Amino acid sequence: MKKHKAIFAGLFVLGVMANAVAASSTTSDTLMIFGELPDAHVALPRYQALSVAAMPEKEFKERLADDKFSSLAYLDIAAVKDDEAAIEKATAIFRSGKPVLLKMGYQTTELAKTVSGIFGISSAFDYALFHRVSNSEINVYRLEGYQDEAVLEAVLLLVTELQAQGSYPREEGEFIGLPKLTYNINLQSPNQEMTSVVNIDVIRSAERSQDKKFVSIKTSPTTTRSTKNGITIGGSGPGGSGENLWGAYLPHAYRFTHQLTAEQVVPVLVNSAPASDSRTDFNYSETKTNGFSIGGTLGSEFGGTKAENITYAAKSPFNVNFGLSYSHSKTMSYAFQDYSLIAAQNGSKLTWNAPIDPKLKAVLVDRLTAGMPILTEARMTPMMRSASLESYTLWELPGTYTGAATVSIGGGYDLNRREWWWDRTQVRSLHVTDVYDAAEQYTLDLNSPFLTREMTVLIRSADGVGKCMSENANSGVSLESCAASNVNQLWGLDSENRYVNRASNRCLSVRETDGALITDSCALDNRQQWEWQADRIHSLYNRDWRLYADDTRLKVIPDDSMHFQDTPKNVFNPLNIPWASYPRAPSIHDVMPNHLGPSPQISPEWVDRYQGVDTRQRWRIEILRDGI
């Protein structure tokens, strides 16, 4: 590979690098390693290398839970692609918000699928740094053209800057709570002839009348520059190169492209910008705004804190009649000089062509003579050397589509090349057009828990270490160590009060003969319907039954070890606790919490009537959703 170049596409300036180095921690951080480092002898005084692929699960979770543990992981995906435990750990590190440096090297369908399963996106990466800014906003920094031994040094500067950015709190308005994924990708083609910062948003919009996924693509900007532009003067005279070559090199057209493809469905172009413009000297600025909505609620009607309301919302069945609205805006601006703009769609591809003003096609040739031409750059403008375009497209897919979608961002130019040289006493010439095109492709995994209509959750027991409800291969349901990357542990409460498993699309069901928990084909059946009361999950088949943990087993019918009392509901909000000292037994001065008004004192009779609630029948949820 080429020696490392400045390919962060504007991520750093020298001053920022200096500040980052000055801000580096003097303490030793841990570099978590999967596979082998690019250069075993590279000096990383700030980091203590630690292989974690074979680390015991308990030790790994303890280290990961420690905020002081590590600020970087290194993942050689080819080395661990068949190690499910290592992939699980790498996914957990990424989802915890710690940057992960991926080494891909070569791409196969299998590797791309594994990478997409971890990060939600894959491409023909050499090296790439992934940083999860929030639950569903991911920054990707492509690192192309680096020698193996140099890539870690460059990454350390970037990681230090990311740590500094992470210290700033997010604004309240940034927490949206919608089914949405965002990827911010900084890229540059290996020969640096196309650079771009790409923003991809995937948004689910579901109402009673429609259910769609939208993919928004914005480049900010795509910059295309030709390898040659301007003039070359040969000969040994003033300004001559000493070579037997005179040349005029001028881009006669630039191209920028967006494309979205999917498996067995054809994406529909909904919106785009900029539009065609025949002028050859103009400034452009436009904001594109689109509205989306999702059935459901953020829980504000319950009057609690933001965290409480989100939890209440996740415990409520999906409701298409109650919509959350979201406005999605993208702003573009640029200046064009000497080139016009033509936008044209061909299927799932949109191309912006920027042809030069016909009057300027020969602007570099002042005049032709019997000998060599008189060449000049006097009338050459900046866009004749490179062109930048901010562009935007919005595509529509079926909301139920869970396959892969591939985004392609392209750029290119037509270079008009005119050359002259002496052949003995005669002047020979060549007049051709060289066509250059480059494209970067990104494959998105649309089968994401962040894109479901209902809030996707882990259902976690309050008992012991807090294991999570998981579907087994035989359609049984048990408690296992929690892993958000394990789709068998992901559930959504639909509009019919059914918990639907994200892996199988089967519904959590009680077998009424013995009280066993299973998954079954979803139906309108009380055995599959559930209701939250505070932190307990009651069966609608028998409202006295509720989920409880028995080691790794799940039950709903009480045995000799479990007593179900008829615990009262909170009359202001059945999802809230019934008395202030809950889950302990009520006391004489307890009140019934009310977020929307005064909290009245409970009846004195409750003190003698009700006991504390066993932790084995108490549950909490871990929510996977944008901004939560």
- Residue ranges per structural domain of the chain: 1-175, 184-293+330-452, 454-458+465-565+620-628, 567-612
Across 119-132, average pLDDT: 90
The yes-or-no verdict on residue 293 having pLDDT over 70 is: no
Q: What is the pLDDT of residue 259?
A: 97
Which of 91-95, 343-347, 497-501, 575-579 comes out lowest in average pLDDT? 91-95
Angle at 492 between CA 486 and CA 496, to 5 degrees: 150
Residue 297, SS3 per DSSP? coil
The yes-or-no verdict on residue 571 having pLDDT over 80 is: yes
Across 392-415, average pLDDT: 93
pLDDT digits (tens, 9 = 90+) for 463-500: 998 999 999 888 899 999 888 778 889 999 988 999 99
Q: What is the pLDDT of residue 430?
A: 97
Across 395-402, average pLDDT: 93
Percentage of the chain lying above the pLDDT 70 cut: 84
Q: What is the pLDDT of residue 26?
A: 40
The yes-or-no verdict on residue 230 having pLDDT over 50 is: yes
Q: What is the pLDDT of residue 353?
A: 96
Would you say how long the chain is, in residues?
A: 628
Return d(Cα 217, Cα 523) in angstroms, integer. Answer: 38
pLDDT digits (tens, 9 = 90+) for 45-77: 667 778 888 888 888 877 777 665 557 889 999
Q: Which residue has the higher pLDDT, 92 or 234?
A: 234
Which of 33-37, 222-226, 271-275, 370-374 comes out lowest in average pLDDT? 222-226
Which of 30-39, 335-344, 351-360, 590-599 comes out lowest in average pLDDT? 30-39
The yes-or-no verdict on residue 129 having pLDDT over 60 is: yes
Residues 6+ apart with CB under 8 A from 69: 30, 63
Q: What is the pLDDT of residue 193?
A: 52
- Neighbour tally for 251: CB within 10 Å: 27
Percentage of the chain lying above the pLDDT 90 cut: 44
456-469 burial string, b = 16+ CB within 10 Å, else e? bbbbbbbbeebbbb
**184-293+330-452 against 454-458+465-565+620-628: fold identical:** no
Angle at 183 between CA 156 and CA 211, to 5 degrees: 160
The yes-or-no verdict on residue 179 having pLDDT over 90 is: no
Across 191-209, average pLDDT: 76
Return d(Cα 10, Cα 388) in angstroms, integer. Answer: 14
- Would you tell me which CATH number, out of the four given (2.60.40.10, 2.30.290.10, 3.40.50.2300, 2.70.240.10), belongs to the domain 184-293+330-452? 2.70.240.10
Across 360-367, average pLDDT: 95
Pairing of strands 47-51, 29-34: parallel
Which of 68-72, 423-427, 530-534, 604-608 comes out lowest in average pLDDT? 68-72
Confidence of residue 9 (pLDDT cuts 50, 70, 90): very low
Q: What is the pLDDT of residue 500?
A: 94
Q: Which residue has the tokens 């050689």?
A: 76
- Neighbour tally for 238: CB within 10 Å: 6
454-458+465-565+620-628: CATH topology is Trefoil (Acidic Fibroblast Growth Factor, subunit A) (2.80.10)
The yes-or-no verdict on residue 202 having pLDDT over 50 is: yes
Q: Which two tokens stand for residue 297?
A: 């609620």
pLDDT digits (tens, 9 = 90+) for 404-418: 999 999 989 999 999
DSSP 329-367: EEEEEEEEESB-BEEEEETTEEEEEEEBPGGGTTTTEEE
**Average pLDDT over all residues of the chain:** 83
Radius of gyration of the chain (CA): 30
